[in-house]
Amino acid sequence: MKKIINDPNQVVQDMVDGLVAAFPETLKQVPDTFVVARADSAVTGKVALVSGGGSGHEPAHAGYIGKGMLDAAVCGEVFTSPTPDQVFEAIKAVDSGEGVFLVIKNYTGDVLNFEMAAELAEAEGIKVANVIVNDDVAVEDSSFTTGRRGIAGTVFVHKIAGAKAEVGGTLDEVKGVAEKVVANVRSMGMALTPCTVPAAGEPSFTLAENEMEIGMGIHGEPGINRGSIASADEIADTLMGKILEDYDFSGEVAVLVNGLGSTPEMELYILNKKVQDILADRGIKVYKTFVGEYMTSLEMAGCSVSLLKLDDELKELLNAESLAPAFRM
């Protein structure tokens, strides 16, 4: 195992320390937790947004904290859901009386632990609502989930629900727009190489030199097909074919071409060229495109594509100001 770390069992604490040190004007750590919050978390008069999950997906989720996006993120151990008490601390840290909205990716541990934390918060009089993101069209069930997994489409939920809260949306209104995003976003990914969880010290699965896996999950969960490496155009055809057959994207869309940790931007742009061609051939107008690393899987080589069908409300919120370190606009 070759990694730039100190103690394999201390990587999350070291990462959080380094992250907060890099953006002290934006981020702070809630004492004695793995919760990162807005440095100006004495925000009043708005719904607070909390997301999180296992670490290893950086810049998700703490990179999306800041004006216009999240108010706090809970960093679990690598690929492991944060505990209910940590999520509860995040809720308490950012609640200003208008309620707290939880963005939860559809993994069994995340759903159970975030919902348990919500019950604890509600018992103390904090209003809580949530949305469960399940944008991955690859598989219906996996070793981590019942139903579809939540992957990079979650970033669109962070951006749009965060913008709605920033302009004074109520808890019900933030929930409503988040649910609209979930209903209109689809994603699918693929992997060329495995990744290694630091505490494990060895790859979580194996792929031969000439193999790739289509539909691979962001924790290394199995996909739908393992075969010989294909060209970028063939990969785009496969991912987009599955996404486009799952939902009617006629009209305008936002595109997210996401790297999983070890994929050069050159390759992501090559893939994006074919993605754009496919959409043009279908008569689907691209409103905005994002290319880069938004939700990774440690050092896994691979990518995912997400499409979000837009209406006027979603376009306005997608364009709103964000000061989050990993999503400034």
Residues that are catalytic = 57, 219
In Å, how far are 170, 229, 263, 272, 275 from 241, measured between CA atoms?
37, 18, 22, 14, 10
Q: How far apart are CA 229 and CA 46, in angstroms?
A: 48
The three-state secondary structure class of 4 is: coil
Cβ-Cβ contacts under 8 Å for 234 (sequence gap 6 or more): none
Neighbours of 278 (CB within 10 A): 19
Q: Rounded distance, CA 4 to CA 168, Å?
A: 42
Q: 188 with 136: CB under 8 angstroms?
A: yes
Q: What is the 3-state secondary structure (H, E, C) of 111-157?
A: HHHHHHHHHHHHHCCCCEEEEEECCECCCCCCCCCCCCCCCCCHHHH
